[in-house]
Amino acid sequence: MATLVLHLRINGVFRQVPVTPTDTLLCVLRDRLGLTGTKRGCGEGECGACTVLFNGEAVCSCLIPAAEAEGADVITIEGLADGIRLHPIQQAFVDEEALQCGYCTPGMVLAAKALLDRVPNPTEDEIRTALCGNLCRCTGYTQIVRAVQRAAAVLRGETLGAGPGPVRAAVGEPVERIGAREKVTGRTVFAGDMQLPGMLHAAVVRSPHAHAEIESIRTEEALALNGVRAILTAADLPDVRFGLLAADEPILAVDRVRYVGDRVAVVAAVDAETALEAARRVKVRYRPLPAVLSVEEAARDGSPLVHPGVDGFPGGAFGMELVLDGNRCYEEETVDGDVDAAFEHADVVLDETYRTAPQHQASIEPHAAVAAPRGDGGVAIWTSTQAPFIVRQGVAAYLGLPMSQVRVVAMETGGAFGGKVSVFIEPMVAALALKTGQPVRMVYSRQEELEDARPRSATVIRVRTAAQADGTLLAREVDFLADSGAYADWTPAVVNSSLRACRGPYRVPNLRAKGAAVYTHKFNTGPFRAPGYPQLTFALESHMDELAAKLGMDPMELRRKNLLRNGEKTFSGTELKTDVLMRCFDTVTKAIADDPADEPHTAWGLACGEWEIGGFPASALLKVNEDGTVSLSVGSTDLTGSLTSIAQVVADELGIEMTELSASCIDTDTSPLAPLSGGSMVTYNMTHVAREGAKQLADELKKRAATALEAKPSQMEVSGLKVRLKKDPSKSVSFAGLVANEPAGITITTPALPATHSFAVHAVKVSVSPETGEVRVLRAISALDCGKAINPNMVKGQMCGGLVQGLGECLWEEIRFDGEGRVANIGFGDYRLPTAADVPEIECHIVEGETSTSRGHGCKGVGEPAHVPALAAAANAVCAAIGRRIYESPLSPERILGA
């Protein structure tokens, strides 16, 4: 390809770069110059992750043709700090915990800089408007706005009140997130930033049909393209199926494609453009077959079968065997009490059906992985995952390798939310690496994300509730249908865990709950933040508002009457030891009462939610370094700052500072085993094992010191990297001295903790335009029972982020299909995420006090419960504002005007 040489100034340095005419400025920065602090999120100017300052203005570098940058002055995130001294905006982002995954952060920081260069004292509205081109999926923007306000004040030279500043590394303190400085400077290496010598790039050949037989695949023309190294189809791979729950999914389609975007072949070439061109030249002949796209239709007898001629599938990573009944891959019914009798004696019965759309995790970082062959015939993989050990298991299964020959390194995840649990990108790059003998990288495009990741299941939920005239709930029946898509993935577990929660956090003495996961000819759906619960809570909490109307009661009173109280049991089996749920409820209802929605077309909506936080056997590795500082290694990935919380607990127990502790995760070759990181389980379980480990390590050091000081271990205490005599702290031995001749370290494993339970109550105030159906979110409040907040800044981050994801789910987010099963909205232009300008500051109330059943310090979980009731609360607000009920999410302007 003809090239030209570009001359420009980047971060103050004059550069000459050979480029091709099709290069964008983003390509120049990332691919030609290795400045990978600038991120690629969508490639079409919608997400803002690639924001740079271009002659002083914030622009999406993916929209600037390279040639247009001739002579330009470009500042990237790498150019902002002064050596290791952060720019005030970067420092403010760290101080205000205005970042979580860190993938949008470089662009966000530069967008903020462009604003503050222009407007030194912006209002909150001006900040939100200026940042509305930069999508963040984690934070919900509240802390970002605060960081920009803080930076503005610093840059104006104002002296600030006590900021977060340096704090003691103790439980309950807002300790700085591990890795925050790397994230605000663009130095964090995500999987898609990895560059190995001789690395090839991969592209996938995808099905254009929802259902078709593959008649032939011809690769000659593609292989003849200069630079193409390998093309693999199912015929080149072992005939193996795998999956999270059941083993029903091949890595490349075998004989038949089951959704538009299904993986048919995969190509490796010297660069990404060549790989894509080769993928286009692979000739696949299909014989289209009838497809079934609606979950209700698929559940009916006589529908086209997604897996014809198959009775069931063996277990996958979690060993769940599937027995198929038509397209139903999972069915369950539970009955508790005499439901029919209760319905017979009820004063009021309400029976309604609710529908929810598939919601995408929409992490700003797309799926990405790099694989490199190893000398022993195995493969090493660097990937963006929440489940490195499941990736290892999946790759080993798909490629027929022992786990000892598969090494998985979990890179920083640029947003995950459950979307980075399933195993599909890694086996493809691993197979290509083994075929070519070269490292191979694959990064999904935004279109691929929307067509072939694992979003939240669409559901159809019928709810029937029986109540007494005074509002006492008597019985409920639920029928829960989840659209699994072409493979089971996590959907049977979505059904199973949702059915357990059909009472909502209320007293419902009689319950019949049944549900099914149903195959359709669409992408498979997977785990997404509190799988099943936002959908179920939308149905249950809409139902509560409707029931109140039918009873002629205030919906808040109906809830208050039935909410679980002190001494009652949740469905997890946990007994409430305080009135924590009522405290959450009261906190929110009081805020509502103080700000009545008096204006026309304006209303509050409220919803209550809950989440069961499971226990798992956990392990951790701790060792004392030669100078007495400590290293911690865990096998869970650092989701949402969990690693910081785990480290904080260890530092607290050992009486050391965060700078005296290094914490790392996770390399499957060296880290202790851990299950997937998700379900709000990591902090609950891992802080427990880490604390136990720290205690044991301290005991060992005390024992050694006691010998040296001729005292008893029980007379010793640890502080300041020393073991001291309690009654005379001047008598001490340093950790360093204690390990000088004999290393000290432990691997600890603790059995699974019992499950614990979290509640969240959200309220949202909206105004709805009667002309356009447009919804404005005026206020959003969250009260969340998280046990002990180990790091309150991070707990708030989860609350804000979870609530805003729920607002998106309620108002804008929906993966739509055309009549042929193609995803109709294949980019962030059409799949609309909440922006900073769409949402208000999220008001967070951390409700502590109710401790978990754990024997530790009583933390629970926060990521999932923060999301659970948000969709329902916002939906109740919209329906109250328009005075009509909408039974299907999202509550788009079309549905609002049509209601």
Partner 1 sequence: MTRVNVTVDGVLCSDDVEPRTLLVHYLREVVGKVGTVVGCDTSNCGACTVHLDGRSVKSCNVLAVQADGHEVTTIEGIAPHGELHPMQQAFHDNHALQCGYCTPGMIMQAIDVLAETPNPTEEQIRVGLEGNLCRCTGYHNIVKAVAACASSMSEPTAATQGSEA
- Which residues sit at the interface with partner 1, rule CB under 8 A? 3, 5, 18, 197-199, 226-227, 270, 437
* Between 3 and 719, CB nearer to partner 1: 3
> The dihedral of CA 695, 697, 703, 709: what is its sign?
negative
* Between 193 and 489, CB nearer to partner 1: 193
* Between 18 and 163, CB nearer to partner 1: 18
- Minimum CB separation of residue 443 from partner 1 in Å reads 18
- Minimum CB separation of residue 5 from partner 1 in Å reads 6
- Minimum CB separation of residue 640 from partner 1 in Å reads 36
Over the range 73-99, which residues count as b (16 or more CB within 10 Å of their CB) and which as e?
ebbbbbbbbeeeebbbbbbbbbbbbbb
Residue 611: partners with Cβ closer than 8 Å, 6 or more residues away: 530, 533, 680, 757, 758, 760, 861, 864, 865, 868
d(CA 528, CA 532): 8
- Minimum CB separation of residue 189 from partner 1 in Å reads 18
CA distances to 279, 718, 769, 894, 896 from 772, in Å: 43, 65, 6, 9, 9
* Between 47 and 401, CB nearer to partner 1: 401
Give the number of other CB atoms < 10 A from CB of residue 447. 18
- Minimum CB separation of residue 377 from partner 1 in Å reads 10
* Between 199 and 748, CB nearer to partner 1: 199
* Between 227 and 849, CB nearer to partner 1: 227
Half-sphere exposure of 717 (CA within 13 A, CB side): 10
* Between 148 and 200, CB nearer to partner 1: 200
* Between 159 and 226, CB nearer to partner 1: 226
**Strand 756-768 with 775-785, pairing:** antiparallel
Per the structure block, which two tokens stand in for 546? Answer: 């409707």
List beta partners, residue 732: 724
- Minimum CB separation of residue 198 from partner 1 in Å reads 3
Over the range 321-334, which residues count as b (16 or more CB within 10 Å of their CB) and which as e?
ebebebbbbbbbee
* Between 17 and 784, CB nearer to partner 1: 17
* Between 199 and 475, CB nearer to partner 1: 199
Of 68, 108, 109, residue with least CA distance to 90: 109
Estimate the share of the chain in helix, then strand, then coil, as percent rounded to the nearest 5: 30, 25, 45
d(CA 361, CA 488): 18
**Strand 73-75 with 4-10, pairing:** parallel
Residue 741: partners with Cβ closer than 8 Å, 6 or more residues away: none
* Between 167 and 196, CB nearer to partner 1: 196
What one-character DSSP code corresponds to residue 817? Answer: B
- Minimum CB separation of residue 195 from partner 1 in Å reads 9
List beta partners, residue 480: 461, 515
Helix (H), strand (E) at residue 221: helix 220-223
Residue 158: partners with Cβ closer than 8 Å, 6 or more residues away: none
d(CA 162, CA 159): 9
Of 22, 41, 38, residue with least CA distance to 30: 38
- Minimum CB separation of residue 463 from partner 1 in Å reads 59
Could you tell me if 776 and 897 are in contact, meaning their C-beta atoms sit under 8 angstroms apart?
A: no
- Minimum CB separation of residue 226 from partner 1 in Å reads 6
- Minimum CB separation of residue 716 from partner 1 in Å reads 47
- Minimum CB separation of residue 233 from partner 1 in Å reads 19
- Minimum CB separation of residue 268 from partner 1 in Å reads 13
* Between 270 and 276, CB nearer to partner 1: 270
